[in-house]
Structure 1
Amino acid sequence: MVKKLLSQYLKRRNLLSQNALTQRYLVIDLELTGLDVNQHEIVSIAWVKIDNQCIKISESQHLINKEVKSLEQSPVFHGIVEDTVAKGQSLHSILTQLSRDFSDHILVFHNAILDWGFLKAALKNANISAQPKLILDTLHIEKKRLTCQGAEIKQDDLTLSACRTRYELPSYHCHNALTDAQATAELLLAQCHQINRGKEVKVGELT
C-alpha cells in the first residue's frame, strides 16, 4: 500500500513539473437536467482531445444518453429532444468509451466540481473503475489568474463565455456539449499562452 501511494505521488510530482503545452488533454463537457447529482441526470457527454497544442476535432465525440428519464429543460437549452435521445447509447457504453483515455490524458473541465461530480457518481454506479492522472479546471485557472492580478471577480466573470471574451476568442452561438468542450479546449490553450508569456508553463502552474 505504501509503495503504491509513493508511486502515485512520484508520478503526480513528475507530471506537475512537465511542460503544459506538450501534454495530451481530454476536454469534457456534460449536458445535465439540473445541478443536483442526487436527483438530476446526464443527458449527453462530449469530449475533445488536445495533443501537443493541437485540438483533434476529427477525434471528438458527442454521445446522447438514451436512458435519460426526463429531459427537463434540455430541449430549450441544448436542443436535445425525445427523438434524439431514442437514437442515443446507454450511459454505460458512453462511460466505457470515455474512460479509455483517462490513463494517458489529463482531464479538463470548465467547472470541474459540477461535471466531474456527475461523472464520478455515474462511473461508480456503472461499476467502471477509472482513475484520472490529473484534473484541470479552466474556471479555476482563470479565477487564480484574475486573483493574482488583484482583479475584482463579479458573479458572471467566470462563465465559459466571459472567460473566452477576455482572451478575444470568438463566440459560439450554438451551445451544446460538443461546442462547449471545443470552446473549453481553446480557452485552455489561450490560458497557457497568456500565463507563460513566451516562457515554458508547467502543468503544476495550472492546478
Structure 2
Amino acid sequence: MLNALKRFFGIKIEQQEALAQNCYRAKYLVIDLELTGLDPKVDEIVSLAWLPIEEQRIIVGRSEHFINCEVNELKQSPIFHGIDRFAVKGGVPLRQALLELQPLLDDHVLVFHNAELDWAFLKAAFQNANLLLSSSVMLDTMKIEYKRLMNQGHEIASDDLNLARCRSRYQLPEYLTHNALTDALATAELFLAQLNQIAGAKGLTLKHLV
C-alpha cells in the first residue's frame, strides 16, 4: 500500500531508499560544469567534469574532464575558464561526454555547488542529445552551507556562498577556480568537510542534507 501511494504521488522508491542511507556510506558523484552564461535556453556547456567519492575518499583516479568541441560562442570563456578556440578543437562532442556520464547517474548521489544551475544545463543538454536523464538524488554544497550558517544565526552576504568563501570556513586551501575538474575536486573536499562538521562521528541520513 505504501509503495503504491509513493508511485501515485510520483515518488521513486529508489530515491526514498537513497535518502535513508547514512551519509558516510553513500556513493557520491561530484559534478561541475563551466558555462558560457547562466541561461540554459541560450547559453552552453563549455566543459564538464566529475569524480566519485566512496567511503569518504575522493577517487581522483576515476575522474573525467571533457571540453565541448561544439561550443558555438565562447563569450567570456577564454577569460574566465582559460578555454579558447584551440582548446575547443581538442575537445569532444558534448553528447560523447553525456553518454559516459549517463550510466553513473543512477548509481550515485549527485553533488554540485549550485545544483539548480548545473542541473538545468544538464537537463537541457540531455534533451538536446535525445538522451534519457534520470531524476537522481542531488545534494548542493551551497545549500548545505546556507542552512548551516542560518542555523548558527549568521548574516549571509551576497558572496558568502561562493565556492572559495565556503571552503575558507573549513580552512581548506585556495584553488584557482573556473576549471571544471579543479572545481569538482574543490566541491568534493568542501562536501567532505561539511559532512564531518554537520554529521559528527555517527553520521546522518541523506534526507537531513537535502
Q: Supply the AA of the counterpart residue of 1:16.
A: L
User: In structure 1, how many angstroms separate the alpha carbons of the residues matched to 2:17 and 2:186?
Assistant: 28
User: In structure 1, how many angstroms separate the alpha carbons of the residues matched to 2:6 and 2:92?
Assistant: 36
Residue equivalent to 1:70: 73
**Alignment pair present for 1:103 and 2:106:** yes
**Residues 118-146 of structure 1, C-alpha deviations (whole Å, 9 max, x = no match):** 00111111111121430111001110111
**Residues 136-168 of structure 1, C-alpha deviations (whole Å, 9 max, x = no match):** 110011101111111111110000000000111
Residue equivalent to 1:79: 82
Residue equivalent to 1:5: 7
Seq. identity, %: 51
Match of 1:195 among 192, 195, 198: 198
Q: Supply the AA of the counterpart residue of 1:64.
A: I
User: In structure 1, how many angstroms separate the alpha carbons of the residues matched to 2:73 and 2:13?
Assistant: 44
Q: What 5-or-longer segments of structure 1 have no aligned partner?
A: none
User: In structure 1, how many angstroms separate the alpha carbons of the residues matched to 2:182 and 2:13?
Assistant: 35
**Alignment pair present for 1:19 and 2:22:** yes
Runs of 4+ in 1 over 6 A off after TM superposition: none
Report the CA distance between 1:178 and its aligned residue: 0.4
CA contact (8 A) 1:106 1:132 kept: no
What TM-score, normalized to structure 1? 0.94
**Residues 39-81 of structure 1, C-alpha deviations (whole Å, 9 max, x = no match):** 1111010111111111010111110100001111111111111
**Aligned Cα root-mean-square deviation (Å):** 1.8
Superposed counterparts of 1:1-207, under 5 Å? 5=7, 8-207=11-210
Number of equivalences: 207
User: CA 1:100/1:9 → structure 2, altered by over 3 Å: closer, same or farther?
Assistant: closer
What TM-score, normalized to structure 2? 0.93
